[in-house]
Amino acid sequence: MKIIIDIVSTKIGGGLDYILNLLRVLDPEKHKFDKIFLFLNSEIKHLVPKKKFIKLILIKNNDYLWFIKKNILIRSFIFKKKIDLLFVPSAINFIYNSKTVVMSQTLLPFRFDQIIRYFPYTFFYKLLLVRFFQIISLNNSNGVIFLNDFAKNHISKFTNIKDSTTIPLGVGNEKFIKLKEKVCNNLNRMPINIIYISEVTNYKNQYEVINELKNSNIDFVIYFVGKIFKPYFNKINKLNFSNKKFKFTGNLTSDETVELLKKSDIFLFASSVENFPVSILEGLVNEKYIISTEAEPVKTMLNNHASYFSLKNPGELELKINEAIKLKMKKKNFSYSLNNFNYDYIAKRTFKYFNYLTSISK
C-alpha cells in the first residue's frame, strides 16, 4: 500500500505533533504498507523522522497559488506512483482520484453558539468557510477519522459520511519520558502555580477565568500558555487585574511547555467546546491535579480524574482551587494515559482502518 499524507497547511500545533509521532512508530511490515509520500511545508522538514519508507515532497506555501500547485502535484503523484490512499489530517480536501481519508480535528466550526462570539471579526467568517469546506470534504471522502464519539455524533448531524471510525490522538513517547520524571506537586508551597495550556481566544474563556479570580485571596499564579488572539486579548486587558497573578507566555516550544508544566501544581482547562485536548493528556500523564469545565468530550475522557466547575456558577472555580489546596493530593493516572493514548496503539488502529478502506471497492 502506497500512501500520500498531505500536511502542507500544517506548521505547528497538535495536528503536526500527531503526524510526527505517528511517523516515529510506523513500521511497513507491522502496519502493512510500502511507502509514504509526505507532502509538507519546507519549513518543517527538519522535524520529520528520517526513515527509508518516507519520501518528502516539499511545498512552499508562501503565495496565493500554493493550494492549486499542491493539488495539481498530488493528482499527478496519485496517477504516476499508483497511490492507494490519500490521507488529509486537516479535513479540507478536494482530490478524489484515489481512496481518501480525512481527519476531523476541530469541533468549533460546527458549534454556532461559539462561532457567534467572534462576530464581527474576520475569524467569524473564516470559521463559517471552514465548516462549509469541511462538510464538502467529509461527504466526499471514503473514510473519516474522528477523535471521539461525541464529535462524531455532533458533526454527523451536518454531514452524510460514507464511512468513519474513532481513533484518539495521543501523547508522544518523548513527552512520556520527560513527564514521567518525578515532579513537584507540593500544594503546601505558596504561591500555587496553575497552568492553562491553550490558545488565548474567545471559546477558551481566559477572560472569564481572570474576571472570576482577579479579587481572590488565594495566593496563586496562573500561566496562560498558547497563541494569543489579539481582539480577545484586548478585551482581557480591559480587566483590572494583577500581572503578577495572571501571566501570558504566548507560544512556547514543546520543551519550554514541559518545563513549565513540571513546575505547576494545578492544571486548568476552561474551554466551552473542545474536540480532543491533548494538553489535558499531558496534565494527566504528569499527575497534575486537574480542574476543568464539563465540556464534552473532556468529561468523558477524564471521568473521575478531574474536578469540574461551571463558569455559569460564580465562585465555583475559586472553590475548586481551594479544595485542591486543602486536599493536598495529586492524581496518579500515568498507566491509564499510557494505555489509552499510546502512539503504537494509535498507529495500529489507524493503519488497520487504512487497509480496510483500500480493500473495499471505491
> Per residue in 183-200, pLDDT tens?
445 555 678 999 999 999
Return the amino acid letter for 32.
Answer: K
pLDDT at 180: 47
pLDDT attached to residue 333 = 45
6-64 pLDDT per residue, tens? 999 887 777 888 999 999 999 999 999 999 999 999 889 999 999 999 999 998 877 77
Domains of the chain: 2-170+342-359 (3.40.50.2000), 173-340 (3.40.50.2000)
Q: Which residue has the cell 468529561?
A: 299
Cβ-in-10-Å burial (0-12, 13-18, 19+) of 186 comes to exposed
Give phi and psi for 152, each to the nearest 5: -60, -50
- DSSP E strand stretches across 271-318: 289-293, 307-309
Range from 37-46, 157-166, 214-223, 321-330 carrying the lowest mean pLDDT: 321-330
Question: With the C-alpha atoms ordered 215, 237, 295, 165, is the resulting torsion angle positive or negative?
Answer: negative
In this structure, what are the phi and psi dihedrals at residue 328, rounded to the nearest 5 degrees?
Answer: 50, 45
d(CA 73, CA 84): 16
Q: Is 202 left (phi over 0), alpha (psi -120 to 50) or beta?
A: alpha
Q: What is the pLDDT of residue 341?
A: 80
Q: What integer pLDDT is reported at residue 133 of this predicted model? A: 96
Residue 332: per-residue pLDDT: 45
Closest-CA residue to 287 (of 125, 360, 179): 179
Whether 267 shows a pLDDT value over 60: the answer reads: yes
For residues 97 and 267, which has the higher predicted lDDT (pLDDT)? 267
